[in-house]
Copies of this chain bind each other. A is one copy, B any other.
Amino acid sequence: MEIGIIGLGLIGGSLAKAISQNTDNTVYGYDISDQVVKKAVLVNAIEQPLTDKLLPQCDIVIVALYPQAAVDYVKNHADLFKKGSIVTDCCGIKTLVCDELIPLSEEKGFLFIGGHPMAGLEHSGFTYAKKSLFNNASMVFTTTKGPIESMSKLKDLFTSIGFTNIEITTPEEHDRKIAFTSQLAHVVSNAYIKSPTAREHSGFSAGSYKDLTRVAKLNEDMWTELFLENPENLTNEIDTLIDNLKAYSDAIKSKDSETLKALLKDGREKKAVIDGEIF
């Protein structure tokens, strides 16, 4: 197949490298930076720059831009996609993207299926892109009615570059779950580091601190956009966590060891159930 990748940042660049090196598909790539496109050709991440002339040949187009930019790109190129081809994206929120692009794709004769590779790093850009980024990761596709043959084609492509789990869900379910597993984690990590104690803790940090603060170093432009496109789900999660944290604080302030122990036991058991250790 001929595959076009729009945006050669961490995710798009890693997809380009992984597809070019692990499959026999031909990869074309576009990036706003000419330098990045040239570098991608140089390291064989793409065969050649993706032009408006090549775009109509692509069987699959993967748009790896921020959400609003991804929507704009697909809208602006809607007439150029090959009839029957698949267009997917990599955005961390899916309702906005799918609400705009699924109807458009039906009108224009291509198939839009939302995509979200559950992988990343606390770095951005082609410089950090690597073909192993998706090893053992989950790939989530969101669609309301994509035909099974096309889903199957996408599944084959993504499992051939390292993904070991493919999820298919609705955009709404995706956004609700991702608010918990990814967005809340980034908010908490970013907030955790703001304690005044943080600057003096050197030498006192074990693994738990390191884990809690790893993703504090996020890209604020991208995450601001992602958070504001999923406001209800995310604030529900933040507010739920705040309520839960208050319960511990209250129990400790009132020196209520029974309540505190019950809170901790409940958390331990919930984690064990989720990890499949107790049922």
Q: Which residues of A pack against B, CB within 8 Å?
A: 118-120, 137-138, 140, 165, 167, 174, 176-182, 184-209, 211-221, 223-224, 227-228, 231, 234-235, 237-242, 244-249, 252-253, 255, 257, 260-261, 263-268, 270-275
Contact = CB atoms under 8 A, between A and B. Distances in A.
Contact of A231 (B217, B253, B275): B253
A73 B252 CA distance: 26
Copies of chain A in the complex: 2
A91 to B, nearest CB: 14
A180 B208 contact: no
Nearest to A197: B180
Contact of A245 (B179, B191, B217, B273): B191
B190 A223 contact: no
Contact of A211 (B212, B228, B264): B212
Question: Which 7 A-B pairs rank lowest in CB-CB distance, beginning with the nearest?
Answer: A190-B267, A185-B208, A220-B264, A180-B197, A216-B271, A191-B244, A211-B211
Given A205-B181, A264-B220, A176 B192 contact: no
Given A255-B228, A271-B217, A241 B211 contact: no
Nearest to A219: B268
A176 B138 CA distance: 40
A204 B271 contact: no
A253 B247 CA distance: 23
Contacts of A182: 204-206, 208-209
8 contacts: A177-B197, A178-B204, A180-B201, A189-B267, A190-B263, A193-B271, A198-B274, A207-B214
